[in-house]
Chains A and B, each alone.
Chain A
Amino acid sequence: MALEASIILFIVFAVLLFLGMPIAISIAISSLSTLLLVIPFDVAIFSSSQKMVASLNSFSLVAIPFFVFSGIIMNNSGIASKLVNFAMLFVGKVPGGIAHTNVLGNALFGSMSSSAIAASTAIGGVLIPEQEKAGYDKHFAAAVNIASAPTGMIIPPSTAFIMYSLAVSGASISALFLGGYLVGAIWCLVIMVVIYMHAKKNNYKTAEGIGKGEAIKVFIDALPSVLLIVIIIGGILTGLFTAIEASAIAVIYSLMVSMFFYRTVKVKNLPKMLKEAFFVTGVITFLLATSSMMSFAMSFTGIPAAISSLILGITSNRIVILLLINVILLLIGMFMDVGPAILIFAPIFLPVAQSVGIDPVHFGLFAIMNLCVGSITPPVGTGFYVGSSVADVKPQHMIKPLVPFYIAIFIVLLLITFFPSLFMWLPNLA
């Protein structure tokens, strides 16, 4: 049964996807075809609509439209340049200072906008030309931007972690968020180490210093937006609100800051931003709703159990199993975007990982980091292509300068996978 079902599911899915059908529709049609193997038509279509409602009828999911909305507000308030100046204050003097600024800028901006694409466009768009002007290699600058853009997807608020928690039903979002701060920070750090070595070797200039008075002005100017990140973690740790409720606070806070502090957003701009949030919600929730149909179809036909006994049949060695899962996820990440990949594959691989003693929060951290890496690799990687076009370089020329960064990121990935104690102390606080 599981074999027939897997063949139908994956072939129908792959063919539709390859033909260019929307991912959500490919998921829905392949799931329905699989379900028809085991239950009558009318029961199958009821179950499908039931799965859509059940997956959406979740308080945790509320955080996605809210964080998306607050990200859009932040985008519209013109904080990109303020964050760039802010980051420059801290790392501008280090060798390769402008590149370091790009990393921090991506992390800060990406964390608020929850979008690696928005970060790499807004921050990289400003800083890559600056790096060129300072004599940095353009492909190196583009690689820095591409390699650091996904950190914002990991640093909370992070829709990727919310989707994971929904997909595996139950991993605490607060714990995932706290782990995300750490993983995101270390990812940034290793990128900066690579930059430092490259900059030393090539004698890159540091950024120009600014006067103390101006530095204070830059700091104060950016502080309210950086505070958003602090407010969320603070709210969770002090018990004022949950990670999910924090999303509503984020909306109100970013509105206040943009309207009253920066004065860049006016009431008349609100409908446009609400409309954009409404639109993005539709894109994400349709994927979420249909993915739940797919995991239902898979469970009903025993696919996850079959895959897990297949893997556990090959080996029972914890290290080999985890490496295997990492490689599979990495390959998946090369072809699929983070969101749909989490929704479809987390429920399949988590049980395997749990059978060798992996905690769901720990699994979420390395699985999502893994898929984020996939978003900056060819052949399918929005981060990779957008990053190349932002820098106006050919994608095929980007692989070589990215290699040192890929290596650095893989080292972190392996550390997270095999040395959870390095990373889990923070989420364990939650």
Chain B
Amino acid sequence: MKALRNFLNKTLEVMGMTILSIMVVTVCYQIFTRTVLNNPNTITEEFVRFSLVWLAMISTAYVVGDQKHLSVSLLSDKLTGRNKFILEVVIQGLFLLFAGVVMIFGGIKGVSLTMSQISPSLSIPMGYVYLAVPVSGVIMLIYSILNLIECINNRKVQEG
């Protein structure tokens, strides 16, 4: 289980770092072609936008793995023991629900609807962009299950 989590973390990190670096270089290239070459590039804008969708979706899933999405922790800070455990289980449960229903089902519906829609500049099916949603959903789902198992194991250790 640890191995699976580490593998996922590493893979997402490498993907994220690569996409982010490529995006920076691409935007600089966009400025360069327009100002220095006086021959503006017309596909970089769309390329960067689509990369951003993928970057954002996989980084969202990555943060789920770390359980670091922002929350207002007025109540949870005060909870201990059994109540805190229940809260954590509910949080992971909601992530499971969200990942399964909105990201995976909703995302797949989005992909199938937009596979025939062609992007104006790169001329690729918009489904490839929408694909980031269900892919992120699957990763989110795996992370939430891992988090849930970990949470239950910790509870057992504490009680045992």
- Chain A interfacial positions (CB closer than 8 Å to B): 16-25, 28-29, 32, 42, 45-50, 52-53, 56-59, 61-62, 65-66, 69, 240-241, 245, 247-249, 251-252, 271, 274-275, 277-279, 281-283, 285-289, 335-337, 340, 379-380
Residue in A19, A52, A66 whose CB lies within 8 Å of B90: A19
Known: A45-B105, A248-B23, A283-B70. 15 other contacts (CB 8 A): A20-B72, A20-B91, A28-B102, A45-B101, A48-B106, A49-B103, A52-B57, A52-B133, A53-B129, A57-B50, A65-B52, A66-B23, A66-B27, A249-B31, A282-B58
- Cβ A49 vs Cβ B72 within 8 A: no
Given the contacts A56-B56, A281-B55, A22 and B70 also touching, CB distance less than 8 Å = yes
Decide if B132 touches A53 in the complex (CB within 8 Å): yes
Cross-chain pairs A/B with CB under 8 angstroms, 28 sampled: A19-B87, A19-B90, A21-B71, A21-B94, A23-B71, A25-B94, A25-B98, A45-B109, A49-B103, A49-B107, A49-B133, A56-B52, A56-B53, A59-B49, A62-B49, A65-B55, A69-B24, A245-B30, A247-B27, A248-B23, A248-B27, A275-B16, A275-B17, A278-B17, A282-B59, A283-B63, A283-B68, A285-B56
CB-CB nearest in chain A for B13: A275
Q: CB-nearest residue of chain A relative to B68?
A: A283
A382 to chain B, nearest CB (A): 10
Q: At the interface, yes or no: B95 with Cβ under 8 Å from chain A?
A: yes
Chain B positions within 8 Å of A22 at CB level: 69-71, 91
> In the complex, A23→B121 CA distance in Å?
35
Which residues of chain A come closer than 8 Å to B129, judged between CB atoms?
Answer: 53, 57
Q: A241-B31, A275-B13 are in contact. Are A65 and B20 (CB under 8 A)?
A: yes
B residues adjacent to A (C-beta < 8 A):
13, 16-17, 20-21, 23-24, 27-28, 30-31, 35, 45, 48-50, 52-53, 55-63, 66, 68-76, 79, 87, 90-91, 94-95, 97-98, 101-103, 105-107, 109-110, 113, 129-130, 132-133
Question: Could you tell me if A62 and B130 are in contact, using CB atoms closer than 8 angstroms?
Answer: no
- The closest CB in chain B to the CB of A25 belongs to B94
A337 and B70 form a contact (CB under 8 A): yes
Say yes or no: A18 contacts B75, CB within 8 Å.
yes
Which chain B residue shows the least CB distance to A18? Answer: B75
Once bound together, how far apart are the Cα atoms of A271 and B58, in whole Å? 17
Decide if A282 touches B62 in the complex (CB within 8 Å). Answer: yes
CB of B59 within 8 A of CB of A281, answer yes
* A247 nearest in chain B by CB position: B27
A379 CA / B77 CA spacing, docked (Å) = 14
**Of all chain A residues, which has the CB nearest B27?**
A248
Hey, which chain B residues are within 8 Å of A29, CB to CB?
Answer: 94, 97-98
